[in-house]
Amino acid sequence: MTTTRLHRRCLLPLLAVALAAAACNGSQGSRGSSSAPAVSGRLEAGLRVLTFDPQAADQRFTIYRGDYVRPELTTGEAFTLDIPALGVSRRFPAGAEEAPYFKVPDAGSFEFRLGPAGGVIVAIEYTAVEYREVNAREAAALIANVQPLILDVRTAREFASGHLDGAVLIPVQDLQRRLGELSAHRRDPVFIYCATGNRSTVAAKMLVDAGFVQVVNLRRGIAELSREGLPVVR
């Protein structure tokens, strides 16, 4: 018996127990239970949209760590947002060559200034029980033994440059409007990956919020998977 086969056989019971527990949790509690913290704004194309009031002095927003935030004003005017702790000092709406969002990579409280207005953005950890993360070795065993739906949430260009065999491509910015394409898999294991784990984290949260009960996210992206010997096809 090869080392790889032995490793997979040892991991299988652990993965089966974890997935069974996730399914059980999903059946016992409905989405949006009292354990889920309230967050601010709305999700659009994988971005959390926060609406800032240029006249309010003590605004407070709660988001998830890892969220990509797209700011907007109640008045629709252009504005400059400063968040020193995140290194953000940008004018919105963004110019043609700039991303219309910024990422909040860490949990914590981040004070912001918006002209005479200000407040704090609080980033919290995402704690939904139906959503779990795996490393590359665990992912390789999961794919080999459990055969989940594999969801690639990168761009079409990235997908064409190399993707996991059997993966379905839905870029994260399109996922919200295309959730219906995955509805048959709400109770099945769904394995999500991207290039580095950032976009797949956003996608995992979106699937959990949509009622998927066995969501698995790859922590560090496809590069780590290729080192585990999973076939990458073009």
In terms of DSSP H, where are the helices of the chain? 3-28, 136-145, 156-161, 172-175, 198-209, 222-227
Q: Quick one: DSSP state of residue 184?
A: G
pLDDT value of position 16: 43
pLDDT value of position 48: 87
Same domain, 151 and 80: no
Same domain, 25 and 136: yes
Tally the domains of the chain.
Answer: 2
Same domain, 94 and 146: no
Domain span including residue 22: 3-32+127-233
Q: CA-to-CA distance for 25 and 7, rounded, in angstroms?
A: 27
Domain boundary among 71, 96, 124: 124
Q: Identify the CATH number of the domain in which residue 179 sits.
A: 3.40.250.10
Conformation bin of residue 32: beta by default, left when phi > 0, alpha when psi is -120 to 50: left
Specify if 37 maps to a domain: no
Specify if 80 maps to a domain: yes
pLDDT value of position 144: 86
Domain boundary among 72, 104, 124: 124
Domain boundary among 86, 107, 124: 124
Map tokens 């912001």 to a residue: 112
Specify if 46 maps to a domain: yes
pLDDT value of position 123: 93
Quote the radius of gyration of the chain (alpha carbons, Å).
19
pLDDT value of position 102: 87
Same domain, 175 and 187: yes
Q: What is the pTM of this model?
A: 0.56
Same domain, 56 and 76: yes
Same domain, 115 and 46: yes
Structure tokens given for 188: 């099945």
Among 86, 92, 80, residue whose Cα is nearest residue 67: 86
Q: Identify the CATH number of the domain in which residue 52 sits.
A: 2.60.40.420
Specify if 214 maps to a domain: yes
Looking at residue 30, its amino acid is: S
Conformation bin of residue 202: beta by default, left when phi > 0, alpha when psi is -120 to 50: alpha
- Mean pLDDT per block of 10 residues along the chain (234 residues) reads 40 41 36 57 83 90 88 83 92 73 90 91 76 86 89 95 94 93 92 92 90 90 79 80
